[in-house]
Structure 1
Amino acid sequence: MVRSLLVVMAALVSLAASPVLAWGAYGHRTIASIALENVKPETRAQIRKLLHAEPELVTPDCPVKSLEDASVWPDCVRRDGDRWAYTFPWHYQNISVCKPFDIKANCSYGTCVTAQVGRNARLLADRRLPAEQRLEALIFLTHFVGDLHQPLHVGENQDLGGNRIKADYGIATGLNLHSIWDGPEAERAISSASPPLVRRYSADEKARLATGTVTDWAKESWEVSRDFLYPAAFGKLPCNGSEPEHVVWTDAAIETAIPIVDERIERAGLRLAKMLDEALG
């Protein structure tokens, strides 16, 4: 019980100090660590080489000394809106859970997370580009694969992915549904995972988890929002009647969500590893 309360308090401090971020820093860094543990040695060497171009980014307040740093950099630089405001729509793709899944929805001119995963993978693989451009692509790819696996960055119900829904997390008040999944729910799931999520996965595990296309990954997140997340929050299917203004993410929902979150994090990390091997190996 004490451990759970400490996790909640730490998550709330993190949320109070920064804007709402997909998975929060802990989730993104965990995804990057899983990927780094599971890439090929030559891929790891290429990542280290690209990180040498970090001074060319000219973002001293958002350093990138590791892949884990890269995983949170796109959220860090959002504080500098003059330079980076154009990247804000790249972090999500609002696909209604009350309509049939449509990968082309709300992605004009590639300004959505699914398009940017593919774009940055191609840029990273292009060895004709300067190192700093490929490093930027590595950073965005690492972050956006994580974003894509956060259900509320894809499946939503005209509420900005749960940001408009006030929510309590057990005894913790003053949050919203999106921030709960970014922060305390993810913290609880990652911290309690057994075995730990950051490890070298077996070939069988990779074959089971590191599957599918970007479209498949988006649809998985959309289905989690439609089939579990909104019904658990609302106590009913999300498209039946008006949406509540305030919900309680109950202890039962917290516990049920843990294996779902863990699998989303694992899949993101292993799929990122596979993409990095393909682009850099």
Structure 2
Amino acid sequence: MRSRVAAVLAVIALWAAPAQAWWEYGHQTIAAVAMANVRPATRTELHRLLRAAPALGTPECPAGTLEDAAYWPDCLRKQAWRWAYTFPWHYQTMPICKPFDPKANCANGNCVSAQIERNRRILADRRLSKADRLEALAFLAHFVGDIHMPLHSGDNEDGGANGVKAAYGQAPGSNLHAIWDGLEAERAISSASPPLVRRYSKAERTGLSGGTVADWGRESWQLARTIYARAFGREDPCSGGPLPRSTVWTPAAIEQSLPDARRRIVQGGLRLARVLDEALGRPAQSGRSAG
């Protein structure tokens, strides 16, 4: 028993170190949902672009499938000297106790919402090289996932809850951000019935894939308020005085949050599918594609 508990704590400590949204399993699941729901023409174009992965010059960070490409921007943390300028693109947090502002915390386009639009435009431009467009595809797939992670949009001036020490049930040693990024999300994915990765009906896609990028950020910010309320047992996390900097993410909170995590992951996947269809599902307007 002691060795089993020690192993669990070691894994939690390892996972909690970087602030990465959804971790590998979550990002790859969002990408898999997208791939299962794009149009055939879009899927064909995706496979064509993904064959350019060697041109990215990141052999330690594969991008030969959409699932791998969706995690590629987090894998780049291994080469901070080369890619550190991209790290602020993963989030756009704003305090849950202040009004939501979709343009806040985005100086010079260094935020997740601006980078979704920037990389969408690069991906859609068939005059550019395959390598440039594949890089944009990887960033786009990842950032659509990031903006659906609540604690990348809302916080309590604590680094997206990275500054909130938290136990996951009886297992200590993590923080609230890491728990929601990984442990909560992975349980939501692995316990889903039916599986999250599947072809969704037209009605499901219509109901879950809509909204603007600003809408997606607002939804995450609103859910972040709920996460803080559950974490600290408050109906309103913005009343009753300052929140502590440590808590327990209880079994009740875990169970309550599973539907929320599943919905955000599915929404991320179906919205990514919609964006990819819009960017890639149409034939080139003129000329030959570059690359």
What is the TM-score normalised by the length of structure 1?
0.94
The Cα of 1:98 is off from its aligned counterpart by: 1.0
Q: How far apart, CA to CA, are the structure 1 residues paired with 2:208 and 2:117? A: 19
Partner of 2:116: 117
Partner of 1:243: 243
Matches within 5 A, 1:99-178: 99-178=98-177
Amino acid at match of 2:89: W
CA contact (8 A) 2:13 2:173 kept: no
Partner of 2:43: 44
Partner of 1:232: 230
The more displaced of 240-249 and 141-150 is 240-249
CA contact (8 A) 1:107 1:115 kept: yes
1:51-70 deviations in Å (ceiling 9; x for gaps): 12111110111011100000
- Alignment root-mean-square deviation, CA: 1.5
CA contact (8 A) 1:94 1:155 kept: yes
Query: Identity, % of aligned pairs?
Result: 59
The Cα of 1:12 is off from its aligned counterpart by: 2.7
What is the TM-score normalised by the length of structure 2?
0.91
Q: How far apart, CA to CA, are the structure 2 residues paired with 1:164 and 1:135? A: 34
Matches within 5 A, 1:15-94: 15=15, 19-94=18-93
Structure 1 outlier segments of 4+, above 6 Å? 8-11
The Cα of 1:239 is off from its aligned counterpart by: 2.4
**Residue 248 of structure 1: SS of its match in structure 2?**
strand
CA contact (8 A) 2:9 2:172 kept: no
Unaligned runs of 5+ in 2: 282-291
Q: How far apart, CA to CA, are the structure 2 residues paired with 1:80 and 1:269? A: 27
**Residue 272 of structure 2: SS of its match in structure 1?**
helix
Distance 1:13 1:168, change over 3 A: closer
Partner of 1:265: 265
Amino acid at match of 1:254: I
**Residue 136 of structure 2: SS of its match in structure 1?**
helix
The Cα of 1:19 is off from its aligned counterpart by: 2.1
1:118-160 deviations in Å (ceiling 9; x for gaps): 1111110001111100000000000000000000000111000
CA contact (8 A) 1:11 1:183 kept: no
Amino acid at match of 1:235: G
Partner of 2:285: none
Q: How far apart, CA to CA, are the structure 1 residues paired with 2:115 and 2:64? A: 23
1:167-220 deviations in Å (ceiling 9; x for gaps): 000011100000000111001111111111000000000011001000100000
- Number of matched pairs: 273
The Cα of 1:83 is off from its aligned counterpart by: 0.7
Q: How far apart, CA to CA, are the structure 2 residues paired with 1:238 and 1:82? A: 39
Distance 1:220 1:10, change over 3 A: farther
Rg larger in structure: 2
Q: How far apart, CA to CA, are the structure 2 residues paired with 1:10 and 1:183? A: 14
Partner of 2:286: none
Amino acid at match of 2:205: K
Partner of 1:179: 178
Q: How far apart, CA to CA, are the structure 1 residues paired with 2:220 and 2:130? A: 32
CA contact (8 A) 1:11 1:184 kept: no
**Residue 197 of structure 1: SS of its match in structure 2?**
coil
Matches within 5 A, 1:212-223: 212-223=211-222
Unaligned runs of 5+ in 1: none
